[in-house]
Amino acid sequence: MRAVAYSQAGLPITDPAALQDLELETPSPGPRDLRVKVRAVAVNPVDTKVRRNTATEAPRVLGWDAVGVVDEIGSEVTLFQPGDEVYYAGAIDRPGSNAEYQLVDERIVGRKPASLDDAAAAALPLTAITAWELLFDRLRIAEGGGEGQTLLVIGAAGGVGSILVQLARRLTRLTVVGTASRPDTQDWVYEMGAHHVIDHSLPLTEGLNRLGIAQVEHVASLTHTDQHYPQIIEVLAPQGQLGLIDDPGQLDVMALKRKSASLHWEFMFARPLHHTADMQQQHVLLNRVAGLIDAGELRSTLGEHYGRINAANLRRAHELLESQRAKGKIVLEGW
């Protein structure tokens, strides 16, 4: 089968060897596996982080967002049949979706939204899972709850922020404040449903004060947490909650003590990586998101379509993500 992989970590993405086209053996499914014929993929910051930082002895296929059709099922599969159209993010410890065929555990797979084409659907799985788990599982905000409270989303124009803003606006009563630093990304965050947008290149307190908001009960920090951390502590209300998904070099958790504030990590790969007892919740929530999409409650966060799935186009996608100027999700489609 055709695939795209890296063999040497740390190469600059402008080096053609950073990601290469190659042929690999088509895999056979295990008992709970689906073998999916991949039709579209999206690219996420985790792809670039693994490529830069994780050494590999054999070519490693990246990619943690896919849409495709079930080609073959394992002996214990009960949720899907061959021919089903699916979407999923996969698992960090298994070969990724930048290949013609991929194995994925059925418990972390959802039905593809019927109202979306392959490219638009591929933009959703990883970020939808991350945003859903962050909002409802980590910050423990109830659906329909949050009346009178504010959620500040730092980095709201990115992939996770784009769907998190939508979920918070559609499924809770929170006041949603997103941050973005450029006019085009600020417009995008408003399109996603934010009540307000402030510029995170300026002090957060300054932007919030202009809105008449002194403190916020919930912060979702999606990027540059270490850079914004002192300001986050300042704007966070006593007994507030901070959730984050990025990789700050160091955080002084003692700074949260005076406010009895709580810190929550969201890592959407935790369930499949550790085969948790509730692993199938990712199947459930992906189906719920598909239903919300098909009902017109949510929209795809596709930002850029980079053409066919090959090494050259994936290198372009990695380069844009590394520039930190991406808006929404970058998708590739077809072989």
**Spatial CB neighbours of 134, under 8 Å, sequence gap ≥ 6:** 160, 164, 220, 243, 245, 264, 266
Residues 186 and 136 in one domain: yes
End of a domain among 245, 265, 285?
Answer: 265
Q: Which two tokens stand for residue 204?
A: 């957060």
**What kind and span of H or E run contains 166?**
helix 159-171
What pLDDT is recorded for position 152? 98
Residue 82 phi, psi (nearest 5): -55, 140
Q: Which of 125, 130, 143, 35 is nearest to 88 (CA)?
A: 125
Please tell me the predicted confidence (pLDDT) of residue 145: 97
Alpha carbon separation from 267 to 85, 222, 271 (Å, rounded):
26, 12, 9
Whether residue 322 sits in one domain with residue 230: no
Provide the CATH number for the domain around residue 84: 3.90.180.10
| Tokens coding 150 | 């504010």
Instruction: Assess whether 75 and 173 both reside in one domain.
Output: no
Question: Do 50 and 142 fall within a single domain?
Answer: no
Give the structural domain span for 97.
Answer: 2-124+270-333
| Terminal C-alpha separation, the chain | 11
Domain boundary among 210, 244, 265: 265
- CA–CA separation, 139 and 245 (whole Å): 12
Mind giving me the DSSP string for 57-111?
SS-EE----EEEEEEEE-TT--S--TT-EEEE---TTS--SSBSEEEEEGGGEEE
Give me the pLDDT at residue 239, please.
Answer: 98
Q: Which of 12, 103, 11 is nearest to 66 (CA)?
A: 103
Whether 202 contacts 222, CB under 8 Å: no
pLDDT tens track, the chain, 335 positions: 999 999 999 999 999 999 999 999 999 999 999 999 999 999 999 999 999 999 999 999 999 999 999 999 999 999 999 999 999 999 999 999 999 999 999 999 999 999 999 999 999 999 999 999 999 999 999 999 999 999 999 999 999 999 999 999 999 999 999 999 999 999 999 999 999 999 999 999 999 999 999 999 999 999 999 999 999 999 999 999 999 999 998 899 999 999 999 999 999 999 999 999 999 999 999 999 999 999 999 999 999 999 999 999 999 999 999 998 888 899 999 99
Is the same domain home to 102 and 151?
no
In a shared domain, residues 115 and 76 = yes
pLDDT at 66: 98
CA distance 99 to 314: 12
Which of 265, 291, 325 terminates a domain? The answer is: 265
Mapped to the 3 state alphabet, what secondary structure does 276-307 carry?
CCCCCHHHHHHHHHHHHHHCCCCCCCEEEECC
Distance in angstroms (rounded) separating the CA atoms of residues 45 and 223: 10
Say if residues 153 and 332 touch (Cβ distance below 8 Å): no
CATH number at residue 176: 3.40.50.720
Looking at the structure, tell me whether residues 223 and 302 fall in a common domain: no
Q: What are the φ/ψ torsions at residue 37 (nearest 5 degrees)?
A: -85, 110
